[in-house]
Amino acid sequence: MTIKKQYLKSKPEVKITFEIEKKDAPNADTITLLSEHNNWQAIEFTKLKSGKFKTVFNVPTNKIESFQYTFQVIDADKQQMMLLPMGADDYVDNGMTDGGKNAVLKIA
């Protein structure tokens, strides 16, 4: 998994790229990003020919300093699981009774 942050010079935004290697989600049919920055609305990753998944989006740096997120994976059998991102800036309790975590990405 890789996370790239590119701060834009032309406006107060950061371009964020998430990539998930095939080995990190070998049976994935689809992957979506669930994130606090957009009220937990799913952002679907694009599946590349290599089997890697990728998504890119911009976030304003003048409105939030960080956000929580996680990945939702659906496999070919339509089984759903959550995938905790590696390489996050921090991890916090997700507030659910399952003891799970959310990743945190700092942008400001």
Residue type, 61: T
Cβ(107)–Cβ(3) below 8 Å = no
pLDDT confidence band for 108 (50 / 70 / 90) = confident
d(CA 63, CA 86) in angstroms, rounded, equals 25
The CATH architecture that domain 2-106 belongs to is: Sandwich (2.60)
Ordered by start, the domain boundaries in the chain are 2-106
Give the position of tokens 């070998």: 26
Average per-residue pLDDT for the chain: 91
pLDDT tens for 36-68 read: 999 999 999 999 999 999 999 999 999 899 999
Q: Which of 48-57, 84-93, 94-103 has the lowest mean pLDDT?
A: 94-103
Read off the pTM.
0.88
**Would you say residue 76 has pLDDT above 90?**
no
Q: How far is CA 83 from CA 11, 71, 101, in A?
A: 32, 5, 10
Provide the pLDDT for residue 97.
64
58 CB neighbour count, 10 Å cutoff:
12
